[in-house]
Amino acid sequence: MAAPIDFYFDFSSPYGYLAAQKIDALAAKHGRTVDWHPVLLGVIFKETGMAPLTVIPLKGEYSKIDFARSARFHGVGGFRVPSKFPIASQAPARIVLWLKARDAALATRVAKALLRAYFVDDVDISNPELAAAVAAKEGVEPVAARAAIDDPAAKDALKREVDAALARGVFGSPFVIVDGEPFWGLDRFEQIERWLATGGF
Amino acid sequence: MAAPIDFYFDFSSPYGYLAAQKIDALAAKHGRTVDWHPVLLGVIFKETGMAPLTVIPLKGEYSKIDFARSARFHGVGGFRVPSKFPIASQAPARIVLWLKARDAALATRVAKALLRAYFVDDVDISNPELAAAVAAKEGVEPVAARAAIDDPAAKDALKREVDAALARGVFGSPFVIVDGEPFWGLDRFEQIERWLATGGF
């Protein structure tokens, strides 16, 4: 079986959310699975000197138009820019990495639920209690989920994940690596599709 | 007849070059014409605090992979990252704006020829003599084309064009405005297509 596709995203990234609605189906169509990697754009931007989209003059205003329009274009219902945006995404990222070491399929389900909570239901998932509550709805034991956020092992796992992402050249969200080939952005999904279908072009 | 589509680009922008191969056909398919606006990303980036793609850590290395892959994906033959890249693009921009005041169709033809000279034939079009020579091949009187680059009226026209672009929120290349709706990037051409076909979505 071919290697999984690596999918890097930040829980605070609207394009990451939109991409998360597409990546599993895209991979499955070509007989691939997806390895979900939550990362922290805040840490990555410190390395690259980049700034969050929304604080950049002109680009910031444009991005709000484009988030919503891209959601409509891709048929992703319910999207809205959350009341508190952007957020620090340590809490959801640590829960997901803690779960991933135990049950990768459950970790992916919880990751999707956390993204949906933030971008559809306007839940502030940077809040540890609220993030743990979302995981609990997916069947995770709530006290353990809450504890994972402050667990040194989960903190270390996230730090290692971000360092590994930087080492592979990840500078944004979503970021996909297929057999070593890097693709940045939801708008590269058509190129990913052709790459998967043809083995490169 | 519906209003023209506004197409903003910098002569030093690879994605601008790729988009320039597509925009006229896309507009014509929907009964539109294109108003070509050369701008200076260097000036625009000073306003927004952004940096040229290629100098950003990680993103710079990625962009070189993505330029070439996107050219192949879109079937644009002959593209290569020029030997001298990026360049200051005042010389080609001023020639085109000087021509545009006289013959808009010729100005667009010369703009395409200048982009091709830079991105396919590796001609340094930041050099006034070389830029004028490219225009001359399209039938422009060479001495006049060379003089236009230093002409205060052409300099003013370019300054006004860049100021007007900033006032409309243009922060990158390519940037397209359709009936007031802004679209940044070649990767938004499918959204532009749907917008033109449906009048908005």
- Residue-wise DSSP of chain B: -PPPEEEEE-TT-HHHHHHHTTHHHHHHHTT--EEEEE--HHHHHHHHT---GGGSTTHHHHHHHHHHHHHHHTT-TT----SS-S---HHHHHHHHHHHTT-HHHHHHHHHHHHHHHHTS---TTSHHHHHHHHHHTT--HHHHHHHHH-HHHHHHHHHHHHHHHHTT--SSSEEEETTEEEESGGGHHHHHHHHHHS--
Mean pLDDT of B163-187: 98
Give the minimum alpha-carbon distance from A49 to chain B in angstroms, rounded to a whole number: 7
Domains, chain A: 5-198 (3.40.30.10)
Residue corresponding to tokens 């060379």: B146
A-proximal residues of B, 50-69, CB under 8 Å:
50-51, 56-59, 61-62, 65-66, 69
For residue A194, what pLDDT is reported?
98
On the question of pLDDT at B53 being above 90, the answer is: no
Interface test with B, best of A63, A69, A190 (most B CBs within 10 A): A69
Kindly determine whether residue B56 and residue A49, on different chains, have CB atoms separated by under 8 Å: yes
On the question of pLDDT at B51 being above 90, the answer is: no
- The beta-carbon neighbor of B201 closest among A49, A72, A170 is A72
> Residue A162 is encoded by which pair of tokens?
């971000």
Give chain A positions within 8 Å (CB) of B201.
69, 72-73
Q: Is the peptide bond before B86 cis (omega within 30 degrees of 0)?
A: yes
> Residue B169 is encoded by which pair of tokens?
């929120």
Separation between Cα atoms, residue A122 and residue A118, nearest integer Å? 5
Separation between Cα atoms, residue B181 and residue B177, nearest integer Å? 5
Residue corresponding to tokens 């197409």: B7
Task: Please list the ranges in chain A whose pLDDT falls under 50.
Answer: none
For residue B142, what pLDDT is reported?
95
For residue B54, what pLDDT is reported?
86
Separation between Cα atoms, residue B95 and residue B111, nearest integer Å? 9
Kindly determine whether residue B182 and residue A59, on different chains, have CB atoms separated by under 8 Å: no
**B144, burial (CB in 10 Å: exposed 0-12, middle 13-18, buried 19+):** middle
Kindly determine whether residue A188 and residue B187, on different chains, have CB atoms separated by under 8 Å: yes
Q: Is A171 on the interface with B (CB under 8 A)?
A: yes
Chain centroid, CA B186 distance in Å: 12
Q: Look up the ipTM and state it.
A: 0.94
Give chain B positions within 8 Å (CB) of A65.
181-182
Under DSSP, the state recorded for A53 is G
Give the minimum alpha-carbon distance from A23 to chain B in angstroms, rounded to a whole number: 18
The CA distances from residue B94 to A30, A58, B144, B157, B187, in Å, are 49, 25, 12, 8, 27
The CA distances from residue A96 to A100, A143, B5, in Å, are 6, 15, 45
Residue A78 Rama label (left phi>0; alpha psi -120 to 50; beta):
left
Q: What is the pLDDT of residues B104-163, one digit of tens each?
A: 999 999 999 999 999 999 999 999 999 999 999 999 999 999 999 999 999 999 999 999
Q: Rounded to the nearest 5 degrees, what angle is found at the Cα of A19, between the Cα atoms of A181 and A71? A: 140
For residue B1, what pLDDT is reported?
65
Residue corresponding to tokens 């996230």: A158
Q: What is the pLDDT of residues B55-91, one digit of tens each?
A: 899 999 999 999 999 999 999 999 999 999 999 999 9
Which one is predicted more confidently, B37 or A55?
B37
B-proximal residues of A, 77-106, CB under 8 Å:
none
| Contact present, A183 and A176 (Cβ < 8 Å) | yes
Separation between Cα atoms, residue B4 and residue B192, nearest integer Å? 13
Give chain B positions within 8 Å (CB) of A69.
191, 201
Q: Is B166 on the interface with A (CB under 8 A)?
A: yes
Q: Is B46 on the interface with A (CB under 8 A)?
A: no
| Contact present, A40 and A91 (Cβ < 8 Å) | no
Separation between Cα atoms, residue B88 and residue B65, nearest integer Å? 22
Give which of A164, A150, A179, A127 is closest to A11, Cα–Cα. A127
Residue corresponding to tokens 């990026």: B86
Kindly determine whether residue A169 and residue B56, on different chains, have CB atoms separated by under 8 Å: no
